[in-house]
């Protein structure tokens, strides 16, 4: 019994570490690569800062320190999301406000950003979308974020991979909900409901 519990704890820790490497290191690096590839106005200092943050986050994982939350300016999320635009894919953001974003705790802000990093990377890799719209809206004690694209959608026999299951786990870890709605060939709609304060 003790041995089985110990093995289970080891497997859970390995899964958490694997998820951190995927979400933080692999997706962070992919995001930087795409910004270099498609960025029209890249500033060297911002790029170096982003790479330094990624380096520190990867070191934290290797030392098994809890992931530190990187301080964020209020307007960082819209520019972060728009950094996934390419010459063939436009990204529009509606309803975002600094006041709305500040209603989220710092850890929640960080988890939402990492969840969206997963979503946007999946969009770039798989969706073939030409238009992406992300709408922010306050609903009572929740922030609703609606993602819509006009890509190929999810296939009928779709099974969650690392990216989307990780996104779902992140949103649940902060007490939120996520709803996927897709028909093959008709794009993808995702609704996230995030508790505020």
Of 74, 76, 191, 84, which is closest to residue 143 (Cα–Cα)? 191
Asked if residues 194 and 145 have their Cβ atoms less than 8 Å apart, the reply is yes
Residue 182 pLDDT exceeds 50: yes
pTM of the model: 0.68
Give the chain's domain count.
1
CA proximity to 92, closest of 135, 128, 124, 41: 135
Q: CA 134 to CA 95: how far, in whole Å?
A: 9
**For 128, which DSSP code?**
-
CATH number of the domain within which 104 lies: 3.30.565.10
pLDDT (tens digit, 9 = 90+) per residue, 5-52? 666 666 666 666 666 666 677 777 777 777 777 765 667 777 777 777
How far, in Å, CA of 53 to CA of 51, rounded? 5
- Residue 111 belongs to domain spanning: 2-195
- The share of the chain scoring above pLDDT 90, in percent, equals 27
């Amino acid at each position: 019994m003790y041995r089985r519990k110990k093995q289970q704890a080891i497997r859970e820790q390995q899964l958490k570490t694997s998820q951190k490497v995927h979400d933080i290191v692999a997706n962070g690096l992919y995001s930087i690569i795409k910004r270099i590839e498609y960025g029209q106005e890249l500033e060297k200092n911002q790029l170096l800062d982003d790479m330094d943050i990624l380096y520190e986050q990867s070191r934290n994982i290797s030392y098994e320190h809890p992931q530190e939350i990187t301080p964020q300016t209020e307007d960082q999320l819209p520019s972060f999301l728009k950094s996934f635009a390419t010459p063939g894919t436009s990204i529009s953001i509606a309803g975002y406000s600094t006041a709305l974003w500040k209603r989220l705790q710092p850890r929640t802000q960080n988890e939402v950003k990492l969840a969206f990093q997963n979503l946007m990377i999946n969009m770039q890799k798989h969706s073939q979308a030409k238009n992406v719209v992300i709408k922010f809206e306050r609903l009572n004690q929740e922030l609703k974020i609606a993602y819509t694209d006009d890509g190929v959608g999810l296939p009928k026999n779709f099974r969650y991979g690392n990216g989307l299951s990780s996104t779902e786990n992140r949103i649940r870890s902060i007490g939120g909900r996520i709803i996927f709605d897709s028909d093959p060939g008709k794009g993808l709609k995702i609704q996230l409901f995030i508790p505020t304060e």
